[in-house]
């Protein structure tokens, strides 16, 4: 059976009796290495364990959780590739009408706060069976955290879910170790020394690693200054070399986060991507139209993990960490050959990327021995003097992929960090990017034009983007191409005032840009920006930050960024009046007249705009 079993009948056909592990997930089952469920299940399978998948179970009762019987070693639980609350609600807290990771894109296949609900049902079905939670929802909620949807500080998800153990970050080696110990008969309550895990313990009990105590939950839910300091403690201990264990106190217990598991070596990462994935969704979903999420990744390749970009609104630091590791050239080329041999492959590799496509190695040699710096970031506010800005290995990789039979074109669609690109004095990659790897438009993320806002985002000054933009169009023109930059923009980020939004609106008007997609800042768990949103404090310097909080102000800031839309005219006028800038009404609301400069087509090529895609965080 090429897919792992998802029914009791399939388990029986395999002659298993009961599985070693049942992996419960809030997503449909897609056996592709872009999906955490697929990776973890295949990694455990390769270790000799029998894994059954329970995708999107009926959570209205415990019955569906009994589908395979009580597993020999335990349940593994995740909410899916994204947080279940983000899957269900927009930044305005409105219910979404679809679910990218469900059959047919239909919403309603998973509950809100999926991990908590699933674990409660498992306890109802089997009592004290071992439960390990992981994935994005568990990782970003592992400590007491601000919950945007209730506007409260919630307890660690380990406490609320009643799970035994929480695996945070990238889980391959963590789950290998947990499975090995459980298989040896070690009780799950004794698994207190596994790196990359969070466990519950008695107050005063010894901790295996050097540790630091943070604040109690009772303090964190009342004291915003303590909350900001606690976030900084967590941020400073996210490195596998320097990180200490962190202790957070509750009424009757403590939770202990062990230091992170070291990132996979290149050989280990190669092995993960060599496993026998089916590279598509389970055939049982065909009658419902398949699973939409596969479309974006089916012909794409992940070549790296981790990100030293350090954007404050991104949870990658909390999940993949700031240390970059990458696959070997051989491994990537083998996957490209597999893709090229697929019957429905049309000749186009959609992406060779990662969290940031042009990061392929550690930011500097020092990181390999000393870990990432706590007092300095690699790219913010300016590139570190020790930064190794070198795209040569990435360029060589792209060149070799292009030579594979049946491959017509290789695109780069995941994020390009333009400040890192400019730090490389050799323009070979920049020129190759413009010449070979863009399909009419390149999406980049300046996010804003106000240096005040960019400071709180952890992004470079706007002059860096301006230099990148200028050189991009120079290269495009010299090559006789018609290509466009499509900037990602964010409204209402902490630090952004109405004046900052007006400045961005003027920049867009002056440059003939009419963005169809603007991301409202979304305060999701595990980010510095969310800490700022909740506390009004920058956790890195403990200074106060202006925060646009009200629904009304957020509407005004977003409307300013899309002042070209006629329906936004009343809101734009109201924002300008509130800022005492009525002099700009004729500029931003020129009575329906087009922008003074010729604007590029909405999608950079003409015709209708492409449908919006949710941005990865």
Instruction: Grade residue 607 by pLDDT with cuts at 50, 70 and 90.
Output: very low
pLDDT at 14: 95
Is the pLDDT assigned to residue 603 strictly greater than 60?
no
pLDDT value of position 601 = 43
Sheet holding 441-447, edge to edge: 441-447, 484-491, 519-520
What pLDDT, on the 0 to 100 scale, is given for residue 415?
Answer: 87
Question: Which H or E run contains 486?
Answer: strand 484-491
Which pLDDT value is given to residue 317?
87
Whether 342 has a pLDDT exceeding 70, the answer reads yes
pLDDT of residue 591: 61
CA distance 344 to 113: 37
Cβ neighbors of 36 (< 8 A, separation 6 or more) are 78, 81, 134, 135, 136, 171
Q: Which helix (H) or strand (E) holds 302?
A: strand 300-302
Half-sphere exposure of 362 (CA within 13 A, CB side): 16
Answer whether residue 407 shows pLDDT above 70.
Answer: yes
Tens of pLDDT, residue by residue over 181-218, are: 999 999 999 999 999 999 999 999 999 999 999 999 99
Pairwise CA distance, residues 340 & 184, whole Å: 42
Domain ranges, ordered by start, for the chain: 8-203+252-257, 472-617
DSSP per-residue string spanning 547-604:
---SHHHHHHHHHHHTTTSGGGHHHHHHHHHHTT-GGGHHHH--TTPPPSSPPPPTTS
Query: 603 Cβ partners below 8 Å, 6+ apart?
Result: 440, 441, 609, 610
- DSSP secondary structure string, 316-366? HHHHT-S--EE--HHHHHHHHHHHHTSTT--SEE-EEESSSTT--S-SSTH
Q: What is the pLDDT of residues 451-467, one digit of tens each?
A: 999 999 999 999 999 99
Band of pLDDT at residue 375, cut at 50, 70 and 90: confident
For the chain, the average pLDDT equals 94
Q: End-to-end alpha-carbon separation of the chain, Å?
A: 34
Q: CATH number of the domain at 8-203+252-257, please?
A: 3.40.50.280
Query: Is 15 exposed, middle or buried (CB count within 10 Å of its CB: 0-12, 13-18, 19+)?
Result: exposed
Q: How many CB atoms lie within 10 A of CB 291?
A: 26
What pLDDT shows up at residue 611?
A: 34
CA angle 82, 272, 311 (to 5 degrees): 40
Kindly report each contact of residues 439-442 with a partner whose C-beta sits within 8 Å and lies 24 or more positions away, as own/partner: 439/409, 439/411, 440/482, 440/483, 440/484, 440/603, 440/604, 440/605, 441/483, 441/484, 441/485, 441/486, 441/603, 441/604, 441/605, 442/416, 442/472, 442/483, 442/484, 442/485, 442/486
What is the pLDDT averaged over residues 49-74? 98
**Tell me: the pLDDT tens digits for 264-312?**
999 999 999 999 999 999 999 999 999 999 999 999 999 999 999 999 9
pLDDT (0 to 100) of residue 227: 98
Mean pLDDT of the region 127-144: 98
> 548 pLDDT exceeds 90?
yes
What does the CA dihedral 28, 33, 34, 40 come to, rounded to 10 degrees?
70
Write out pLDDT tens, residues 487-524. 999 999 999 999 999 999 999 999 999 998 899 999 99
Query: How does residue 414 score in pLDDT terms, banded at 50, 70 and 90?
Result: confident
Q: Taking residues 31-36, what's their average pLDDT? A: 97
* Cβ within 8 Å of residue 610, ≥6 positions away: 603
Helices (DSSP H) in 245-289: which residue ranges?
266-273
C-alpha pair distances (Å), 271 with each of 47, 179, 249, 274, 365: 12, 18, 39, 5, 24
CA–CA separation, 109 vs 103, rounded Å?
9
Q: Please state the rounded mean pLDDT for residues 436-458.
A: 96
Q: Kindly report the backbone phi and psi dihedral angles of residue 128, in degrees, each rounded to the nearest multiple of 5, phi listed first.
A: -90, 25
The runs of H, that is alpha helices, within 437-518 are: 451-457, 462-478, 498-510
């Amino acid at each position: 059976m090429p897919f792992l079993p998802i029914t009791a009948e399939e388990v029986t056909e395999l002659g298993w009796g009961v599985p070693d592990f049942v992996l419960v997930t809030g997503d449909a089952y897609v056996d592709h290495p872009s999906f955490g469920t697929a990776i973890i299940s295949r990694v455990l399978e390769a270790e000799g364990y029998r894994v059954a998948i329970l995708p999107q179970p009926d959570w209205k009762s415990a019955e569906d959780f009994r589908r395979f019987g009580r597993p020999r070693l335990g349940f593994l639980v995740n909410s899916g590739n994204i947080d279940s609350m983000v899957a269900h609600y927009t930044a305005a807290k409105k219910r979404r009408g679809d679910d990218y990771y469900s059959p047919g894109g239909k919403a309603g296949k998973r509950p809100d706060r999926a991990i908590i609900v699933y674990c409660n049902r498992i306890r109802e079905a089997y009592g004290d069976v071992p439960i390990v939670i992981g994935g994005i929802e568990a990782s970003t909620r592992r400590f007491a955290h601000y919950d945007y949807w209730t506007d409260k500080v919630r307890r660690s998800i380990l406490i609320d879910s009643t799970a035994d153990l929480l695996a945070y970050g990238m889980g391959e080696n963590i789950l290998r170790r947990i499975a090995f110990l459980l298989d040896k008969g070690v009780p799950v309550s004794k698994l207190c020394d596994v790196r990359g895990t969070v466990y519950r313990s008695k107050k005063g009990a010894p901790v295996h690693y050097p540790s630091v105590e943070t604040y109690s939950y009772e303090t964190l839910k009342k004291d915003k200054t303590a909350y900001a300091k606690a976030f900084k403690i967590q941020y400073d201990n996210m490195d596998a070399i320097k990180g200490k264990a962190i202790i957070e106190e509750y009424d009757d217990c403590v939770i202990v986060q062990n230091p992170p598991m070291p990132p996979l070596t290149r050989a280990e990462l190669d092995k993960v991507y060599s496993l026998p994935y089916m590279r598509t969704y389970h055939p049982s979903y065909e009658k419902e139209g398949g699973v939409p999420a596969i479309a974006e990744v089916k012909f794409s390749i992940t070549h790296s993990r981790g990100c030293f970009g350090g954007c404050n609104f991104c949870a990658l630091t909390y999940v993949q960490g700031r240390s970059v590791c990458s696959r070997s050239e051989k491994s990537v080329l083998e996957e490209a050959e597999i893709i090229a041999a697929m019957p429905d492959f049309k000749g186009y590799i959609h992406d060779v990327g990662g969290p940031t496509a042009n990061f392929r190695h550690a930011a500097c040699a020092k990181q390999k021995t000393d870990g990432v710096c706590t007092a300095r970031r690699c790219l913010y506010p300016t590139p570190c003097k020790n930064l190794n800005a070198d795209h040569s290995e990435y360029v060589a990789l792209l060149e070799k992929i292009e030579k594979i039979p049946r491959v017509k074109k290789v695109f780069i669609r995941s994020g390009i960090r333009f400040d890192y690109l400019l730090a490389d004095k050799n323009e070979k990659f920049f020129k190759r990017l413009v010449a070979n790897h863009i399909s009419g438009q390149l999406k980049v993320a300046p996010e804003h034009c106000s240096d005040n806002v960019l400071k709180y985002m952890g992004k470079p000054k706007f002059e860096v983007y301006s230099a990148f933009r200028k050189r991009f169009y120079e290269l495009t023109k010299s090559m006789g191409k018609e290509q466009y930059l499509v900037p990602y923009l964010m409204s209402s980020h902490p630090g952004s005032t109405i004046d900052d939004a007006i400045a961005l609106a003027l920049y867009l008007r002056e440059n003939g840009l009419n963005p169809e997609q603007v991301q409202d800042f979304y305060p999701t768990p595990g980010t510095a920006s969310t800490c700022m949103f909740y506390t009004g404090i920058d956790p890195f310097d403990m200074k106060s930050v202006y925060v646009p909080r009200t629904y009304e102000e957020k509407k005004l800031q977003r409307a300013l960024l899309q002042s070209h839309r006629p329906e936004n005219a009343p809101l734009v006028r109201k924002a300008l009046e509130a800022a005492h800038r009525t002099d700009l009404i004729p500029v931003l609301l020129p009575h329906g007249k087009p922008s003074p400069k010729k604007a590029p087509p909405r999608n950079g090529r003409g015709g209708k705009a492409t449908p919006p895609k949710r941005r990865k965080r």
